[in-house]
Amino acid sequence: MVSAAIQSLLLCETPSTWLEEASQQLPNLLIDQANCEKKAAATAVSLLHRSGSDERFSLELSRIAREELKHLELVLRVIKRHGMSTRHLSAGRYARALNEWTSKREPARLVDQLLVCAMIEARSCERIGALLAILKGDLRTLYEKLHDAEDRHFEFYVARAYTLDPNYCEERLASLSRLDAHLISQPDQEFRFHSGTPDR
C-alpha cells in the first residue's frame, strides 16, 4: 500500500492497538483528521511566503495548499453526513515533537521543516493505508481519496529538501525516522490521527 520510499523511511508500522482504538473513536479520528488538513494547508501557505522567486516551488505549494483544503472539505462533509459535530480537539504530541526537533538556525531550519512535512505526509499515507483495511462505506471512500495525495506530497517535500542539501538530509532523515517510530510505538494518553499506542 505504501511506496518503497515511504517503506524505507518508516521504522515501524501503525500498531494494531491503535487501529482497534480508531475503530472505537471514529468521531475523534475525523475531527483530528480535519485539524490535520487545516494545518497541512496552513504549513504549505507559510512555506509559500518563503519560496522567494522560485516559481515552480510556489506553484506546487499553492497546489498542495488547495488540495489540503479540498481534503478538509471532504472530511467535514463526512462528519456532517454521519450526524457528528465538530468540536475543539487539542493537537496531539506528534507534530509538536517533530517541530521541536527542527534546527533553530537557518539555512538548516528550512531543510528540517521540509523534512518534517515529508515525514508527516509519509506517516499519514502509511496510517491511511492501515485504516483502509478496517473502514467501510463512505469513510473508506474518503480515506482512499486522501491516500494517493499524501504520497505525492511526501515525494514533493522530500525532493525539495534534497535539492537544498542532500548530505544533510541523509543524516537528518535517519534521526527523524527514529523520532517518528518512537512517537508511533510508545504509549500515548490521547487518541489522535498520529498518536502512539493507546495508553488506558
Our CB check for Fe ion shows the closer of 68 and 188 to be 68
Is residue 184 within 8 Å of 196, Cβ to Cβ? yes
Using CB under 5 A as the binding rule, whether residue 153 contacts Fe ion is answered as yes
The correct pick among 10, 22, 71, 135 for binding Fe ion (CB under 5 A) is 71
In the complex, the smallest distance separating the C-beta of residue 36 from Fe ion, rounded to whole angstroms, is 7
Question: What is the size of the binding site for Fe ion (CB under 5 A)?
Answer: 7
When the beta carbons of 149 and 198 are compared against Fe ion, the nearer one is 149
Helix, strand, coil shares of the chain as percentages rounded to 5? 75, 0, 25
Asked whether position 150 contacts Fe ion by CB under 5 A, the answer is yes
| Cα 40 → chain centroid | 8
Give the DSSP H/E element, type plus range, for residue 3.
none
Please report whether residue 93 would count as binding Fe ion according to CB under 5 A.
no
- Smaller CB separation from Fe ion, 148 or 170: 148
**Neighbour count for residue 63 (Cβ, 10 Å):** 14
Q: How far is the CB of 145 from Fe ion (least distance, A)?
A: 9
SS3 190: coil
- The dihedral of CA 167, 171, 173, 176: what is its sign? negative
Q: Residue 58 and residue 60: Cα distance in Å, rounded? A: 6
Contact 28, 89 (CB under 8 A): yes
Which region, judged by CB under 5 A, interacts with Fe ion, from 13-21, 76-84, 151-159, 186-194?
151-159
Rounded to a whole number of angstroms, the minimum distance from the CB of residue 53 to Fe ion is 25
Q: Which residues bind Fe ion (CB under 5 A)?
A: 37, 40, 68, 71, 121, 150, 153
